Every structure is written in structure tokens, then in C-alpha cells.
């Protein structure tokens, strides 16, 4: 394996760096985008029960915001729970944009690696062919080993570029689809909380004393 890498020449180095970066991003995103970490089970029903019973304080909201992306979305809505429905909805939308941006962290980099992988392989191919022709110009075509080195370098770089770019592209599409599914579920949970916060609350009836009968006027 080491001999193959050495045969690829210096043009293989950026491809290897991209492969390590892609591997790190994939492992980090697999961990960060676990369903239990993004959409904790039962959190929506629990938060709606808190909102109905008014068992909310600053400590609740802080813990909720740091717990998960869904919790951060709920905390943004609950922070303005006494405002009109439109203002609560705007806060949910603003918070949701930040949450989605964090869930898509590093995905643009992964997509860039998937795009430039074949280009780096093509660069290595061109460099290998140039090397081959330079050897031919210097010593002629009498020695086949002079051509074999350049051809091998070209093919190795092309192969490694595709090996890096194909999985990176597939996983980039997978993570984007996963984030899209989470966004749909979070919208449903946020809408349910918004409906609970906007619902009219029952007002306690005051007991009023019966009006006293008017005394007859003296004739």
C-alpha cells in the first residue's frame, strides 16, 4: 500500500488530506445528528405540559436550550410565551434558522470535498502524463519503465480522487436528507407548542354578591 501511495507522487497528498477531513466530518456528523440528540423522545409532550401548568422559570429554559436543537427551538418560543401568536411564530422561525444552520455544520465542506476530489485526481493525471512525456523527450521510448512511472502516477491519482469523492458525495446527500427530515419533525412539534401557547386560557369566575333589592321609596 505504501508503494502505491509513493507511486502516486506529490499530487496524491491533497487527496489524502481531503480524505482525512471527510472522515472526520462524517464521524462528527454521525454523532451530532443522532435522533436522540436532535429530537429527544417525549420532549414535546413534556414541554407542552410545562407550558400548560406554567411550571417554567429561567433555569428550565436554560437547560432546555442547551439540551438539544429541538429544546433550543422550544426555549425560543417559551421565552416570549406571553406575546401575541405572530410574535411567537417569528421567534420560532428565527431560532429555527440558527438551529438548522448548526445541524448543517461542515456539510458544505463535505460537499466541497466531493466536488474537488475528481479534480484533484485529474490534476494528478495531468502531472503524471507530463512527467511521462518529459521522460520520453529526455531518453526516448526505448525504456518502457520511463513511461510506466508516469502512467502509474496518473492512474493512481485518478483512482484515489474517485475513491474519496464518491463516498463523500453520497454521505453529503444522506446528511442533507437527514437534516431535512428533522426539520419537518421540528416544525410539527413547534406548531403544536404554538397552538398550546396561543390557546385561550380559562379565566376563573369571580363570585359576585347578589344585588340587594331596592328599598321601596317612601311615598
Domain membership flag for residue 217: no
The total domain count for the chain is 1
The grid coordinates listed for 87 are 410574535
Res 27 pLDDT > 90: yes
In a domain, 207, yes or no: no
pLDDT over threshold 50, residue 40: yes
Can you give the residue range of the structural domain that contains 108?
A: 2-198
Domain membership of residue 213 (yes or no) is: no
Q: Is residue 208 part of a domain?
A: no
What is the rounded CA–CA span in Å between residue 185 and residue 216?
69
Quick one: pLDDT at residue 108?
A: 94
Q: What is the pLDDT of residue 212?
A: 45
Convert 160-195 to b/e letters by CB count within 10 Å (16 or more is b): bbeebbebbbebbeebeebbeebbeebeebbeebbe
In this structure, is residue 185 part of a structural domain? yes
> What is the per-residue pLDDT across 93-130, written as a single tens digit (0 to 9) for each?
999 999 999 999 999 999 999 999 989 888 888 877 77
- Is 123 part of a structural domain of the chain? yes
Q: Quick check: is 90 in a domain? A: yes
The CA-atom distances, in angstroms, between 59 and each of 55, 130, 142 are: 11, 66, 81
Supply the pTM of this predicted model.
Answer: 0.78
| Digit-coded pLDDT (tens) for 138-177 | 666 655 665 666 676 677 888 888 999 999 999 999 999 9
| pLDDT at residue 132 in the model | 73
Does 169 map to a domain? yes
The residues, ordered by sequence, that sit 6+ positions from 111 with a Cβ below 8 Å of its Cβ are 168, 169, 172
Amino acid at each position: 500500500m505504501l508503494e502505491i501511495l509513493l507511486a502516486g507522487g506529490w499530487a496524491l497528498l491533497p487527496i489524502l488530506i481531503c480524505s482525512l477531513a471527510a472522515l472526520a466530518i462524517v464521524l462528527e456528523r454521525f454523532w451530532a445528528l443522532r435522533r436522540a440528540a436532535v429530537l429527544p423522545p417525549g420532549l414535546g409532550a413534556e414541554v407542552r405540559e410545562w407550558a400548560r401548568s406554567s411550571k417554567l422559570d429561567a433555569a428550565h429554559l436554560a437547560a432546555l436550550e442547551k439540551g438539544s436543537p429541538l429544546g433550543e427551538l422550544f426555549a425560543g418560543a417559551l421565552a416570549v410565551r406571553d406575546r401575541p401568536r405572530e410574535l411567537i411564530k417569528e421567534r420560532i422561525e428565527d431560532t429555527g434558522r440558527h438551529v438548522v444552520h448548526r445541524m448543517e455544520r461542515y456539510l458544505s465542506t463535505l460537499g466541497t470535498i466531493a466536488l474537488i476530489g475528481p479534480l484533484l485526481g485529474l490534476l494528478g493525471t495531468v502531472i503524471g502524463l507530463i512527467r511521462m512525456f518529459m521522460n520520453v523527450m529526455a531518453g526516448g521510448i526505448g525504456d518502457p519503465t520511463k513511461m510506466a512511472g508516469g502512467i502509474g502516477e496518473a492512474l493512481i491519482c485518478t483512482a484515489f480522487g474517485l475513491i474519496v469523492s464518491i463516498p463523500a458525495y453520497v454521505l453529503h446527500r444522506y446528511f442533507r436528507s437527514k437534516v431535512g427530515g428533522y426539520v419537518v419533525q421540528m416544525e410539527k412539534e413547534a406548531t403544536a407548542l404554538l397552538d398550546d401557547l396561543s390557546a385561550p386560557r380559562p379565566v376563573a369566575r369571580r363570585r359576585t354578591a347578589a344585588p340587594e333589592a331596592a328599598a321601596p321609596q317612601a311615598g
